[in-house]
Each structure stands twice: as C-alpha cells, then as structure tokens.
Amino acid sequence: MQIKRTDKSPTEVVLNVTADQKFLDAAKNYVLRSLSGEVKVAGFRPGKAPLAVIEKNIDASRLQTEFLEQAINSLYGELVRAENLRPVKDPAVSIKKFVPFDQLEAEFEVETIGAVKLADYKSIKKAKPSVSVTAKEVNDVLASLRKQAAERSEVQRPSKNGDEVTLDFKGVDAKGQAVNGAEGKDYPLVLGSNTFIPGFEPNVVGIKAGEEKEFAVTFPKDYNVAALQGKKVTFKVKAHKVSELKEPELNDDFVAKVSPFKKLDELKVDIKKQLTAEKQREADQIYQNETLEEIASKSSVALPKSVVDNQIERGEVEERQNLAYRGTTWEEHLKEEGVTAEEHRERNRSKAENTVKISVLLTEIAEKEGIEVTPEELEIRLQILKGQYPDAAMQAELDKPENKQDIYSRLMTEKTIAKLVGYASGKKN
C-alpha cells in the first residue's frame, strides 16, 4: 500500500493511497465469504462452496459494488492507524482509479484532531482541600427544620418580619413588558428570610391579606441571572393571606418528630456528618476542575472548528431543554440576554473549546498511562444504574451498545481523573 500525505492545515489531512494486490485479494475474499451464505451451489452446503465457485454464481455488479465499499472502508481504517489520526467525522472520499479486483487508487480528505502537546502532568502538585463544619452551620439547618415544621395561623393584621405572606407577583420593565422569571402565583414568602429577590421583602412588610401594592426593585449588579443584573423592575403584588408562624421548641420531642433520631445531640452529629460529606464533594469537584484546568493551560491541542461547533450545539440543546422546563422560549432568552443566536454561540465558543480540549487531553493521558476499563467494571456500573431504574424498558435501553459505550467512556474519564488527582495530591494510585 502506497500512501501520500498532504497536510492542508493542522487539522486537515489529504491522503492519496494506492492499494496493493494482496490487499485487494483479501478484500475480495472477505466479500465473497460474507455473500457465500446467500448462494446455492449444487453439491455444496450453504457457505461451503469454494470462493471461485461462489464468484461465478454472484451478480458481478453487486460483487464489484460491495468489494469497492469493503476496500474503501478497510483502506480508511488502515490509514487512520498508520497515520495516527483522530478523525472527527467521516472523510470525503474520491476514487481516482478503479479496475475491479486489480487496481484501486483513492483520496481521503480527513478532518482530524491535530497535534497534541501534553504538559508534564505528573509535575503538577496541588494541596488537596480539607473541609470543616461550624456549629453555626449545624444550627442553621436546625433553624430551617423548625421553620418547616412551624404551625401557621392566619391573621388579619399587617404583615411583619417572621410572617409568611402568600402572594401573587408580576414584574414588568420600563416599557411595561413582563420580565421573564419575575412572576409567581400563590407564592409563600417568609418575610425576613432573605431568600427572595434582594430588596423585595422589605416592600411587602406591612401588607394585609387582600391588599395590592406596586413598587420598584433594582436587581444587584452581580445577580445570578445576567439579563437582570442592575435592571430596574416594577412589581405588582397582591397578598392572599398573612400567616403567623409558631416554631416548635428545639428539644428531643421535636427531633423524634422530624428525624429517625431520639436525641438532639444525635441529630446534630448526623447533620454535621452530612454537611461535611457535601462540602467535601464540592471541594473535591473544585480540586478536580482546577487540576484539569492547569493541565489544559499548559498543554496545546489543534482542534477542528467543526468539533468545537458540535460542542457548542450540544450545550445549546441542553440550554434549550432547561429553558423549556422553566417555561421560557429560546427567543425570549436571547431577547433577555440582548444577543443574537450567532452572538450567543460565539460567546460560548471559548468554553466549548476548553471542554473539547480537556476531553482530548484525558484520552491522551489514558493511553499514556495504559488505563483500561475491564468488562467486570463495566458490568458493575451497568448493574448499579439498572438498580436506579427499575423500569424494564429503561433497563433494556441501558443494554444498547451505544449506551454501554457511553458508560464505558464515563468510567474511563473517571479513572483517568482519579489518576491525575493522585499525582497532583501526592497520593499513590
């Protein structure tokens, strides 16, 4: 097999290949064997006749077509291995010369992951975080439990801090248009809890059941919804009822009602244990992300534009689904953000590039470290997932090859990240 390689760009390769006779003979024999079961030849059981006899009993046009398809697919597979390519999509194929079973010259235009320069990831060292839980944090959880268990008594007086006001609210902008995400009905708001829009609760203090009120609130510049940062919104509020909350005493009787424990000290120990575990998970995730980001910042990968575009598209699909779940259309979201669809895509390009880059680096590291997922590990994870989905149809879905491959890839990623965390923290693994 003769190969001529031309690099059009760091991520585009043109391969011109001429197959030798040995390769062509092997491709032809493969096709004849695969078709042999369909041919009935007197004196031979199906699939047992000599290949020369099978060839005489097969439509020549079909044999040539399937031979060419097999030869091209096989050639491409060998080229990818020989040239150490990482294609991101099917190649563009041109047949330059074809004499059935005797000559084949083809050209493949391949879009591939380009050169990877991997950082010395073993030299990256980072102290692994430790977490602690304060008495105040435990007491805050206890206070929340008391609020949840509070008795509610409807009152006719003006509301005050500590009361729960059930209300409807609707926010509009300077043009009188409804602001997405700033509307609710029969919303139970505990005044003074500071759980709602900053500046909203003080304006509701003093309202009575049946009263309506209108006031303006300017969202903080660091508000978690970008479209509302620093924005002035006028709210129209109607209170349906005001309830006085009477929280239960914090004692062993209360503990027995809201938990499987009998003593307050036992509940405190459990709360601290759960908070510690949650904090540690969050800290570990941050540690992993920071480790990967440092490796990525010290490495380089030539990425095709198409693979980054695909990642942007996947992120957009997920974003659309989340918006739909909240009752917001894509068009409304873009309008709130003040960007066009194309501007939105380009704004996410850097993040998408980094995501793809890290994925490529993890694959490179897994190969370098010889990391593998055993059939037993895959089966264990599969059974764990099946245990989470008792529905028979969902379990059958997990058994599909493409889903098994996805689970395999996740396990590979997890094992590779665990290896990197071990290097960074100095832990032997």
Residue 65 in any domain: the answer is yes
Measure the CA–CA gap between 43 and 59, rounded to whole angstroms: 20
Sign of CA dihedral 48, 53, 57, 60: positive
Residues 78 and 217 in one domain: no
CATH code: domain of residue 91: 3.30.70.1050
What the block records as the tokens of 61 is 């046009």
CATH code: domain of residue 329: 1.10.3120.10
0.95 surpassed by pTM: no
Among 211, 246, 281, the domain-final residue is 246
Q: What confidence score (pLDDT) does residue 428 get?
A: 64
3-class secondary-structure state, position 132: coil
What the block records as the tokens of 83 is 């040239």
Residues in the chain, overall count: 429
Residue 427 neighbours by CB under 8 Å, 6+ apart: 128, 421
Residues 291 and 393 in one domain: yes
Residue 126 in any domain: the answer is no
Residue 213 in any domain: the answer is yes
Q: What confidence score (pLDDT) does residue 375 get?
A: 94
How far from 361 is each of 114, 212, 303, 365, 368, CA to CA, in Å?
Answer: 12, 58, 12, 6, 10
Residues 197 and 154 in one domain: yes
CATH code: domain of residue 173: 3.10.50.40
Residues 278 and 409 in one domain: yes
Residues 234 and 361 in one domain: no
Residues 281 and 404 in one domain: yes
Residue 220 neighbours by CB under 8 Å, 6+ apart: 198, 229, 230
Residue 268 in any domain: the answer is no
Measure the CA–CA gap between 345 and 316, rounded to whole angstroms: 8
Per-residue pLDDT tens digits of the chain, which is 429 residues long: 899 999 999 999 999 999 999 999 999 999 888 887 777 777 777 767 788 887 887 888 999 999 999 999 999 999 999 999 999 999 999 999 999 999 999 999 999 999 999 999 999 999 998 999 999 999 999 999 999 999 999 999 999 999 999 999 999 988 888 887 788 999 999 999 888 888 899 999 999 999 999 999 998 888 877 777 888 999 999 999 999 999 999 999 999 999 999 999 999 999 999 999 999 999 999 999 999 999 999 999 999 999 999 999 999 999 999 988 877 889 988 887 889 999 999 999 999 999 999 999 999 999 999 999 999 999 999 999 989 888 888 888 999 999 999 999 999 999 999 999 999 998 766
Residues 354 and 277 in one domain: yes
Residue 369 in any domain: the answer is yes
Q: What confidence score (pLDDT) does residue 47 get?
A: 67
List the beta strands (DSSP E) in 27-78: none
Residues 69 and 169 in one domain: no
How far from 221 is each of 99, 173, 224, 228, 231, CA to CA, in Å?
Answer: 70, 16, 9, 8, 8
Residues 59 and 159 in one domain: no
Tokens 């599969």 belong to 382
Measure the CA–CA gap between 281 and 407, rounded to whole angstroms: 21
How many domains does one find in the chain? 3
Q: What confidence score (pLDDT) does residue 429 get?
A: 60
Residue 222: domain span: 150-246
- Helix 349-369 crosses helix 264-297 at what angle (to 10 degrees)? 90
